[in-house]
Amino acid sequence: MFGVDQKNEVTIFPIQKQIKLTNKFMSDFDEMSDDHWMTTIDTPIKEFAFDISESDKIKKITFHFKKIMDVLGLDLQDESLKGTPERVAKMYVNELFSGLNPSSLPEMSLFPNNYRYNGMLVEKDIELYSICEHHFIPFVGKVHVAYIANENIIGLSKINRIVQHFANRPQVQERLTIQIVDKLKEVVKTDDVACVIEAKHLCVSMRGVKDSTSSTITAKYSGTFNETAVKEEFFKHINLESKFDI
């Protein structure tokens, strides 16, 4: 059964198998970080994070990534490796972590709700690629977003843009779910927004417990989406019932 979220907090479904970390060589710190704590709803960004230009960030990351590779013992003179530090730095700043910069969120123009459509609008199966902030490796999955419009609507692709913007940061799935809902509420000026994310975390499958079959589901409901009938309609649209079996 789905938990009804009275306090309007994010609900995390315990889909991941209960597997104890048995590797005795795994440090306490590593076990703690595997629990994926989220400390704040806002991404913890330093006060002067954007005082450095993007090109300076690329230069600095290139320098430090080179050091990491060097410490690992890699020969940076090798033709195949020598371009890697700069390639990684550009990928971090321009792509994978471009959503750290608030200016990367495109303009969200509103349109009047001329049809007076007051039903549910669901944008489902939005592709998700993000990076776990505890391990800096990807988590991938699907995002389902719904809202009930008041006076205004936004272009459908803007919902994908919001997802991409917040996914392009070092992230925690729970925070991502909340940030998507909060932004959509702000943009379309309605309280009635919901988001469900189902994702596979590579930090769970390719390392640590090495469980390649489990996935993690998070959900956040706001406004009328806390009502059972509305929530059920949303689940029906995104076909979650059959998948969840809980």
Query: Is 133 assigned a catalytic role?
Result: yes
From the list 134, 164, 165, 179, the catalytic residue is 134
**Candidate residues 57, 66, 134, 161; the one interacting with Zn ion per rule CB under 5 A:** 134
Q: Residue 34 CB, nearest distance to Zn ion (Å)? A: 7
Q: Binding-site residue total for Zn ion (CB under 5 A)? A: 4
Residue with tokens 């469900």: 196
Question: Which positions from 135 to 154 touch Zn ion by CB under 5 A, shown as an x/- string?
Answer: x-------------------
Measure the N-to-C terminal CA separation of the chain; round to a whole number of Å.
Answer: 5
**Which residue type occupies 191?**
D
Q: Per rule CB under 5 A, is residue 203 in the interface with Zn ion? A: yes
List b or e across 139-177, with b for residues whose CB sees 16 or more CB atoms inside 10 angstroms: bebbbbbbbbbeeebbeeebbebbbbbbbbbbbbbbbbb
Only one of the segments 23-31, 148-156, 185-193, 198-206 lies at the binding site for Zn ion (rule: CB under 5 A); that segment is 198-206
Q: Cβ of residue 208: shortest distance to Zn ion, in angstroms? A: 8
Question: Does 200 sit near Zn ion (CB under 5 A)?
Answer: no
Q: Indicate the residue type of 63.
A: F
Structure tokens given for 49? 């994070």
Q: d(Cα 135, Cα 17) in Å, to the nearest integer?
A: 20
164 is catalytic: no
Q: Do 183 and 167 meet the contact criterion of CB atoms below 8 Å apart?
A: no
Minimum distance between the CB of residue 99 and Zn ion, rounded to whole angstroms? 18
Active site residues: 132-135, 173, 201, 203
Give the residues lining the site for Zn ion (CB under 5 A).
132, 134-135, 203
